[in-house]
Amino acid sequence: TPNIIAWSLFDDRGTVINSREDVTASPDSTITIVLFGDDLKRTSATDRGIRKLTVYAEYDSDLGSDLPITAEHEFRVADFIGI
């Protein structure tokens, strides 16, 4: 189980989306991150709709303390007609 977990949401240019930077989560073996509303909207006409969800955690093991883990998932958001 990690000591700390935090996540951030960026576009492909590194701009933070919907103030979702360094959002902390309760450390557990599994966490759920729910994105909705403005998290999944394009921010401007030039926004290509590419999002990067970055998760950072630290854990302890026999090899050391506060060892970092970083993961990133890239996905696209789409404009829906009529919504």
pLDDT at 69: 95
Say what the pLDDT of residue 1 is. Answer: 84
Confidence tier at 51 by pLDDT (50, 70, 90)? very high
What single DSSP character describes residue 16?
Answer: B
Q: What is the layout of strands, in order, in the sheet containing 4-11? A: 23-25, 4-11, 50-61, 64-76
Asked if 46 and 20 count as a contact pair (C-beta separation under 8 A), the reply is no
> What pLDDT does residue 79 have?
78
On the question of pLDDT at 41 being above 80, the answer is yes
Band of the pLDDT at 81, cuts 50, 70, 90? low
For the chain, how many residues are written?
83
* pLDDT tens digits along 9-30: 999 999 999 999 999 999 888 8
